[in-house]
Structure 1
Amino acid sequence: MAYDALIIGGGACGLMCAVQAGLLGKRTLVLEKNDKVGAKILISGGGRCNFTNLHTSITNFVSEHPDFLHQAFAQWKVDDTVNFFKDHGGIIGEEKTLGQLFPRSNKAKDIVAVFTKLMYETQQDLWLHTEVKAVEQDANGYAVHVVRSGKETVLHSKKVVFASGGLPVAKLGASDFALRTARNFGLQVVDTAPALVPLTITGKDASWYASLAGNAIFSRVYNAKISFEENILFTHWGLSGPAILQLSSYWKAGESFTIDLLPKFSLDELIKNERAQGGKRTIGQLLQLHFTRKMVDALGKFLPIDLKVASLSKADAKLVIDSIHRFSVKPAGDKGYDKAEVMRGGVATTALNPKTLESKAQAGLYFGGEAVDITGWLGGYNFQWAWASGFLIAQDL
């Protein structure tokens, strides 16, 4: 069978690329190493799949050149995603927190079903249990070496799409294949790291964080680059929760960041108001109006929680206010790719045509989705990029 393109990877980008190519009357072959397509789609959003975000803009992405996204999001908008799943699968999106859109059914498998149906209807081919070992240039385009059912086969095509994702999560078949191949063909690759990942605390403070494991607190987490207001979660190894995952994309080892544990209130004002009423409550009692008893007891390690507000010195008041509103954290590291939602870095955007995602230097090679140096925030943004990149590539096959 002669195909218009071979697509490596049956995830979000690869599936969208295949069906969009099919809707244009083209034939593709999707090569997937797992026993089913859409592995990361199926586990996203706790198995519910937040398939896009209504607030998507280039400001929601980390990249050396985020302006690269202008072309993609001009050609494939959030409305296009919403209409695609509605028209082809009857899926109605329901908005949850912060613009996240989930299928009304709350079933990620319904998203995958849209693609499997369309692939069948547009006669796109799919090989499961197929590992791509190498891609080499030949006289007719590219030779793609694959292992299927224990046998090695060489496929030939003028166009090859790398939609094989990034390094998270190994048990779902993640690998650096797209990055290694890009380097082999001379494309620049931006240094990679886990992103949207929990952060670890070690040393003398480790037991303090572990003692609070399971406690979630709405906070503002910030550094010199960015600020997020969402829940943080204390864990046995350090910190997680939406705000921490978001900040992790803007954090590097050795850096500190700050947490405002009470972003909706001014503790300075709360203390003044308490003083005006006689200041009979202790600092612990005042804090307990906003935190769990367990959290207040833990704060007692370095705050005078048994001291009455009326007795607070200026130095004590400053210590309490700084500790709550400017809680400094210096993580030891992160939980790695197996706990990361996505990968930061990837094939440099400067190496790709922003209108088609084809390599500028290597005609016929395309890179989309997580393999590219485009990393979205938590909450459906990475899916919007995956759908958009799959669509762009399909138009050029």
Structure 2
Amino acid sequence: MSIFPNSDICETSVMSTNLVKQTDFDAIIIGGGACGLMCAVQAGFLGKRVLVLEKNDRVGAKILISGGGRCNYTNLYATDQQFISQNPHFCKSAFSQWTVDDTISFFETYGITGKEKTLGQLFPVSDKAKDVVEVFTNLCDDLGQEIWVNAEVKMVEKTDDGFTVRAEVNGKQEYISAASVVMAAGGLPIPKMGATDFGLRTARNFGLKVTDTAPALVPLTITGKDQPWYEQLSGNSIFCRVWNDRASFEENILFTHWGLSGPAILQISSYWKPGESINIDLLPNQNIAGLIQQEKETNGKKMLLAYIASLYTRKFAEALSDKLPAEKNMASLTKTDIENISTLIHDFKVKPAGDKGYDKAEVMRGGVSTDELSSKTLEAKKVPGLFFGGECVDVTGWLGGYNFQWAWASGFVIAQNI
């Protein structure tokens, strides 16, 4: 039986927690997000009984808002290569145990067929993230897994025969015991949805190292004298290549009144550190010098501004004009002019002032150190029975369904070992 007071995910009877204090749970799962829900379901398939404790008034809050409410629940091209970690090999074991094909088959079995969109992103045909959440809530109901919402965990304590968890459930203190505890409490992004550092604090309380954390997949800000230039372009979206010395992405960037966003910027933000610059090729896969030379020969009277406007929006071309010899026609452009234009277009440099922080970040970089966990089981080496999965671990994926694939895989792996 599950508990979902005030939830529109599914309707089940509300059960008093007084009836279910210290029962025969094999594990307590802290966090009812992607990792925690998958863990609960997979444990149920193995005949294990778990309790999921979710701080919010419903489970799957981040699932519900992902992909604009459509949920890109995996990526067809997901491998260990699209993940950032102090140990880039750590996630290989989990991905060998639970593959992208496993994710696709799992959801198809329970009525969700995927459709591919940009760059391998897989969305439900229905375009409804709630359908993904309902797969888990329905299965938890069928499998007899407990889910308590409005349940904020305050303490996790090791005991002789397992763990005791103290939680405030609908304003009342409850103590629950189990042999294992799964920390699937997520990361720091979107605090207004209940995100906290509880998973990281718990790790530290047990003497586990935590890799430095930072917002990832997050918009970047521009301040000072350059800000007005970006403000005037707010709303303009351009396909670009964005790179630094660690990564490169070809997708759209979006100019905003405070800086830069869009898929390519979110991607590179995971590889960016304060004080560094990023490079943008505003016309990837083409050669502006060659294009200008052709135009000089065929339409030399055309003004450079008009030509640039034919490649971009008029507004963007006008914004670039203060950085270009815009008053010249094509025929009068010198070799130096063309070299300067090429540098501007193909190597546009930006030095962000910062990022928009955890309020706007999609995920967190860093987390519980992979040195502390078994890659095969995700159990803490120093604390038998304590497992960490999902976003609170130092495994951060690219934009586009990769982080969900890690959540599903880590939830599956933990379920096999609790």
So what's the TM-score if we normalise by structure 1?
Answer: 0.99
Please say if residues 141 and 158 of structure 1, whose CA atoms lie closer than 8 Å, have aligned partners that are also in contact.
yes
User: 1:318 matched to which residue of 2?
Assistant: 339
Q: Distance in 2 between matches of 1:367 and 1:376?
A: 16
Structure 1: runs of 5 or more not aligned: none
User: 1:300 matched to which residue of 2?
Assistant: 321
User: 2:57 matched to which residue of 1?
Assistant: 35
Letter in 2 for 1:261: L
Once the two structures are TM-superposed, the CA of residue 315 in structure 1 deviates from its matched residue by 2.2
Letter in 2 for 1:232: I
Structure 1 stretches (4+) deviating beyond 4 angstroms?
none
User: 1:273 matched to which residue of 2?
Assistant: 294
RMSD: 0.8
Secondary structure of 2:271's aligned partner: coil
Once the two structures are TM-superposed, the CA of residue 383 in structure 1 deviates from its matched residue by 0.2
So what's the TM-score if we normalise by structure 2?
Answer: 0.94
- Deviation string 1:1-42 (CA, Å, 9 cap, x unpaired) is 210000000000000000000000000000001111000000
Q: Distance in 1 between matches of 2:37 and 2:220?
A: 32
Give the counterpart of 2:237 among 195, 203, 216: 216
Once the two structures are TM-superposed, the CA of residue 139 in structure 1 deviates from its matched residue by 2.2
> When the two structures are aligned, how many residues end up with a matched partner?
396
Give the counterpart of 1:254 among 275, 283, 294: 275
Q: Distance in 2 between matches of 1:290 and 1:118?
A: 52
User: 1:44 matched to which residue of 2?
Assistant: 66
1:59 matches 2:46: no
1:22 matches 2:39: no
Per mean C-alpha deviation after superposition, the further-off stretch among 49-58 and 138-147 is 138-147
Once the two structures are TM-superposed, the CA of residue 145 in structure 1 deviates from its matched residue by 1.1
Letter in 1 for 2:377: T
Q: Distance in 2 between matches of 1:256 and 1:204?
A: 16
- Deviation string 1:245-294 (CA, Å, 9 cap, x unpaired) is 00000000000010000003100101111222252212112211210000
Structure 2: runs of 5 or more not aligned: 1-22
Q: Distance in 2 between matches of 1:274 and 1:388?
A: 53
Q: Distance in 2 between matches of 1:280 and 1:58?
A: 52
Secondary structure of 2:382's aligned partner: coil
Q: Distance in 2 between matches of 1:344 and 1:278?
A: 50
User: 1:83 matched to which residue of 2?
Assistant: 105
- The share of aligned pairs that are identical, in percent, is 62
1:73 matches 2:95: yes
Q: Distance in 2 between matches of 1:281 and 1:360?
A: 69
Once the two structures are TM-superposed, the CA of residue 171 in structure 1 deviates from its matched residue by 1.2
Once the two structures are TM-superposed, the CA of residue 45 in structure 1 deviates from its matched residue by 0.3
Please say if residues 270 and 365 of structure 2, whose CA atoms lie closer than 8 Å, have aligned partners that are also in contact.
yes
Please say if residues 297 and 331 of structure 2, whose CA atoms lie closer than 8 Å, have aligned partners that are also in contact.
no
Please say if residues 140 and 156 of structure 1, whose CA atoms lie closer than 8 Å, have aligned partners that are also in contact.
no
What are the within-5 Å matches in structure 2 for residues 110-259 of structure 1? 110-259=131-280
Please say if residues 10 and 38 of structure 1, whose CA atoms lie closer than 8 Å, have aligned partners that are also in contact.
yes
Q: Distance in 2 between matches of 1:214 and 1:172?
A: 27
Q: Distance in 1 between matches of 2:212 and 2:84?
A: 13
